[in-house]
Amino acid sequence: ASMLDPGPPPTRIQLHPAAPEKAAKKLNKQVIVALPQAERDIDSDGIALLFNGREIRYLSGVRWTTTVPMMVQRDLIDALIISEGLRGVADEAAGISSNAKILCDIKQFSLRYESETAPPTAWFVATFRIVDQNNGRVLDSKAIDITVPAFSTETAALVQACETALS
């Protein structure tokens, strides 16, 4: 029976990125946020650890509450709502009529280790595009590459670094 025992369930971690400032001007626009695209190693609820620039492992016994793309989508929607800069913001499933769609490609969301013993650096790399829903034209795009060093190898420090990078 012990061979079949999966052990204790993993601890689930929520991130709470910092709230954005209120928008200086409110636009009379509605926007939908598409589910971000990501490679399989990132499209997971596992907390990715990157060693030697190539080797992906996952933090043992700890998971995000949802997959990384769903987490990024939810946090982006929440940030846009909190900023009060748009008339409406929702995900694609909401079925709202929108002026634009935000597309995101997540290239990296991991804890990058330079050595096995030193604290890692949270690393978030993504490309965002705003596409006009009427004609498919890209209205704007932004590529981000953010690194935030963790102050220790403890889980709380790793989560804090990821939260700051996502903010």
pLDDT mean over 137-158: 96
pLDDT exceeds cutoff 80 at 3: no
Contacts of residue 128, defined as CB under 8 A and 6 or more positions apart, other chains included, come to 102, 103, 104, 141, 142, 143, 144
Average model confidence (pLDDT) across the chain: 93
Mean pLDDT value of segment 76-105: 93
Has residue 127 got a pLDDT over 90? yes
The tokens describing 57, both together, are: 């492992």
Whether 124 has a pLDDT exceeding 90, the answer reads yes
Query: Across residues 133-149, what is the average pLDDT?
Result: 96
Average pLDDT over residues 29-33: 95
